[in-house]
Amino acid sequence: MLRAINYCGLRMEYDYTKKNIKNINIRITPEGNISVSAPVGVPLKRVDSFVEQKAEWIFRKMADIEKRRESMPDGEIYSGKNVFFLGKEYTLELEKGRKFEVERAGDRIIVYSREGDDNLKPKYINWLIEQAKPVFEESLTRMLLLASEFKIERPEIYIRNMTSRWGSCNKEKKRIGLNVQMIKADIRCIDQVVLHELAHFVSYDHSDRFYAVLNKLMPDWKERKEELETNYLDGIK
């Protein structure tokens, strides 16, 4: 239950939960949200009063969290960081676990790992690659159907964490390489890159014929490309 109090003219919202506990507890989440749990039967006015009494402590904790977040390099993984997956923005949450696991829960992506694990970033990117495989294959199926008039043989897909391009095409080996970073974007943007690489099987260079294929099959490809390059950057590369 979401509740709010006014403290010195400021609106303070908090998530309220009833539990079988003895005392009222306040926790500031890694994202900077206020979570309050109270014993069953405690009047809401008493809970509000308790939160108000702890307001100064709450503000100090929230300021500390924001300070830590601002000091973190953009490419690092930490609780409270905003990340993207399939066009949706999530809040990253780090939790202790027996092994490395990733879970999507509502608007959060929870990363479980052993304490002191220094390899979270490469492990997270590997998780993104695993998630990308079926998504990219489905996109390839759709784009081959869209481009069926050109009778393109289905190429093999390989996925990498690329730093300077979204995709690549090897016409001789019948392979296309796709950047795992695309899994952060809306499926429309993924389709644009996949179609771009398929168009190279019609015209290997960026000739007038190449762009004629793109313009015919996906008239809004430029808008999708711009969306991909500007909207889904979270720094984890």
The model scores a pTM over 0.85: no
Chain segment 165-217, per-residue pLDDT in tens: 999 999 999 999 999 999 999 999 999 999 999 999 999 899 999 999 999 99
Q: How many CA atoms lie within 13 A of 92 on its CB side?
A: 21
Instruction: Please give the CATH architecture assigned to the domain spanning 128-231.
Output: 2-Layer Sandwich (3.30)
Q: What is the DSSP letter of 152?
A: P
- Domain extent listing, the chain: 2-71, 82-122, 128-231
Give the model confidence (pLDDT) of 147-164 as tens digits: 999 999 999 999 999 988
CA 154/CA 162 separation, integer angstroms: 22
Residue-wise pLDDT for 102-131, tens only, equals 999 999 999 999 887 888 999 999 999 999
**Structural contact between residues 184 and 86, judged by C-beta atoms closer than 8 angstroms:** yes
- Reply yes or no on whether the pLDDT at 9 is more than 80: yes
Question: Which residues, listed in sequence order, are joined to residue 102 by a DSSP beta bridge?
Answer: 111
Residue with tokens 């009063």: 49
Those residues whose C-beta lies under 8 Å from the C-beta of residue 168, and which sit 6 or more positions away, are 162, 176, 177, 197
Q: What is the pLDDT of residues 57-110, one digit of tens each?
A: 998 888 877 776 665 655 688 888 899 999 999 999 999 999 999 999 999 999
Judged against a pLDDT cut of 90, whether residue 29 lies above it is answered with no
Residue 210 identity (one-letter amino acid): F
